[in-house]
Amino acid sequence: MPSFDISSKVDLQTLDNAVNIAKKEIDNRFDFKGTHVSFELNKKDMTIAIEVESEMKLQQLEDVLLTKAMRQGLEAKCFDMSKEPSASGKYVRKTIVIRNGIDKDNAKKIVKLIKDSGSKVQAAIMDDVIRVTAKKIDELQAVIQLCRSSDLELALQFVNMKS
């Protein structure tokens, strides 16, 4: 039976490259000369810690990071920008969490979306991956289009297609 997996993985090397390219651009920008900018990727926790002098510079830094990450092939949905920045002393700090894997709540939403579509497919949650099987490849391709067109807050990849 044909099947494929729905996953939401972030390649660590690509993310590291995007962060390093963003650091280089910030170092070369005129409006950041002589200002305090700390920009670190924690590979273990999958977070990016930012520390700057003002909210405006924080917004500019986030824009540069997203632009460079998207040029490296990462989707903007893999960055969780919802956490509010915290001010301590004269610096503003923000931690950006990298979404890696599909958590149980989002997996249930995706399975419910697939079941409600009326397709003749079976969707099963396996850890942080959703396996979708069907009798015909056309039905699987319809599920892929359904997932792409729905408004999910995850960067989904469709991998391991077997026929």
Asked if residue 20 and residue 93 are part of one domain, the reply reads: yes
Return the pLDDT at 119: 83
Asked if residue 94 and residue 126 are part of one domain, the reply reads: no
What is the residue range of 106's domain?
A: 3-8+101-162
Its pTM surpasses 0.75: yes
Asked if residue 91 and residue 19 are part of one domain, the reply reads: yes
Return the pLDDT at 63: 93
Spell out the per-residue pLDDT of the chain, length 163, in tens: 888 888 888 889 999 999 999 999 998 888 888 888 888 999 999 999 999 998 999 999 999 999 999 999 998 889 988 888 888 788 999 999 998 888 888 889 999 998 888 888 888 898 888 999 989 888 888 888 988 888 888 888 888 888 7
Domain boundary among 80, 98, 116: 98
Domain boundary among 73, 98, 123: 98
Return the pLDDT at 44: 92
Return the pLDDT at 8: 87
Q: How many domains does the chain have?
A: 2
Structure tokens at 116: 């409600």
Asked if residue 106 and residue 31 are part of one domain, the reply reads: no
Asked if residue 138 and residue 81 are part of one domain, the reply reads: no
